[in-house]
Chains A and B, each alone.
Chain A
């Protein structure tokens, strides 16, 4: 089974530091098509930095980053080299990212937030983009909000719109950077519902989250990070029954 599944993302020996402080220490990770991987761990463990390096919002300082077999970043003489502009643009099309604080464009309506990138970046026709957006909005229960502006929506609705915006570009992998951390429990529920739905449709997802129960029930694999390294990884059962004290400690706090 391992062999005939596509590896969509491969991270080899990723390193990243900020002002002399190593935040990511030699992390390797690969994600296959249809996999849902959750990254958990304490604040400052490097989860978000890992995600930001993988989505190229942050420059990595060592290692390789490969999407669908195409190298986005590699090492030459001990230094990270990024692929050319045009290649990176192509590589970026493989993934989408959902931010903790949504980052919707406030001056665009919900519809325009979702259709603008497909039209002006991917050259999709306006009609097609609108059709895509309408079907996404329906799927996410936001059909009546197409003409609203972000400020008129609740946080949960805004996050769902931002998920729709990412999906409209039809990415192969969707990253989530603590998608519910800015939301109250009620609104968290409606966003998690959407992510569950996507998991059912076999969307490949990498989710940085503090929602332990959610990660446990949804993920194919959980990665526990601490101090810039992967301390534990495996199926939810494996990680939740880890014999490592640090992991047990952390997870225990959430189950109390």
Chain B
């Protein structure tokens, strides 16, 4: 196999990796916010459930979660779902990352000075306005470095989709490497991941800078 063909194939895998990456962020970022609300809820049951959820998601391997999410419908309910492989990957990644994001949001929200809430209350803002206009924008600024960290980890974690034999970049690199008995595809994959993360880090830094208009 020529280097060109190899890179072409890896490039295709890269597209799939990018899909997993963006879809996971799309679902897990908002989902994490709701989990963090549950985690901070006054309702003990809701708080307990959220805590348990976070503890399972953080306490077991993501690879195992991928397998469970993919195979559970068949083994538990006898369902033979067609085309479930990709949705299963997105689902598993999203619920896993939501747990991590939830704790990041919680840290950010709990670090907000109570005076901000009090000022908003006296000025007549309702709870939703207070959160959306006053609290959340400041929380986002505070948690950006942690979000960047998670996001970079996610880029690399997408490679775990290989356990479900999904044709993302790492799966392909491994296959080609085995077939060609060569290290080159793996090295090339490493370079791809690095470039991807370089772009991610660069973009996040831009966002952080943009948020630096206030202190």
Contact surface of A with B, Cβ cutoff 8 Å? 55, 57, 89, 92-93, 95-97, 99, 101, 103-107, 116-117, 120-122, 149-151, 165-166, 169
Contacts and interface: CB of A to CB of B under 8 A. Distances in A.
A107 B137 contact: yes
A99 B215 contact: no
Interface of B: 113, 115-116, 118-119, 121-126, 129, 133-134, 137-138, 141, 213-215
Contact of B138 (A93, A106, A121, A122): A106
A107 B138 contact: yes
A103 B215 contact: no
A101 B119 CA distance: 11
A121 B119 contact: no
B109 to A, nearest CB: 15
Given A103-B115, A103-B118, A107-B137, A117 B123 contact: yes
B213 A57 contact: no
Contacts of A165: 123
A103 B126 CA distance: 17
Given A89-B124, A120-B133, A121-B124, A99 B119 contact: yes
Contact of B215 (A93, A117, A122, A151): A151
Instruction: Please indicate which of the listed interface residues B122, B124, B134, B215 has the most CB atoms of chain A within 10 Å of its own CB.
Output: B122
A95 B141 CA distance: 32
Contact of A96 (B122, B213, B215): B122
Contact of A99 (B115, B134, B214): B115
B118 A121 contact: no
The secondary-structure label for the interface of chain B is helix
Given A89-B124, A103-B113, A166-B122, 15 more contacts: A92-B122, A95-B122, A96-B123, A99-B115, A103-B116, A103-B119, A105-B116, A105-B119, A107-B137, A117-B125, A121-B125, A121-B129, A151-B215, A169-B123, A169-B124
Contacts of A96: 122-123
Contacts of B215: 106, 149, 151
Contact of B134 (A55, A101, A105): A105
A25 to B, nearest CB: 24
B118 A99 contact: yes
Contact of A57 (B121, B129, B137, B138): B121
28 contacts: A55-B122, A57-B122, A89-B124, A89-B126, A93-B124, A97-B122, A99-B118, A99-B119, A101-B115, A103-B119, A105-B116, A105-B119, A105-B134, A106-B138, A106-B214, A107-B137, A107-B214, A117-B123, A117-B124, A117-B125, A120-B129, A120-B133, A121-B129, A149-B215, A151-B215, A165-B123, A169-B123, A169-B124
Contacts of A120: 125, 129, 133
B122 to A, nearest CB: 5
A166 B113 CA distance: 19
Contacts of B122: 55, 57, 92, 95-97, 166
A92 B125 CA distance: 11
A122 B113 CA distance: 25
A150 B119 contact: no
A61 B134 CA distance: 29
A149 B213 contact: yes
A57 B141 contact: no
Contacts of B121: 57
B123 A121 contact: yes
Nearest to B134: A105
A162 to B, nearest CB: 8
Contacts of A55: 122
Instruction: Please indicate which of the listed interface residues B115, B119, B137 has the most CB atoms of chain A within 10 Å of its own CB.
Output: B119
The 9 closest A-B pairs by CB, nearest first: A103-B119, A103-B115, A121-B124, A117-B123, A151-B215, A97-B122, A149-B214, A106-B214, A107-B214
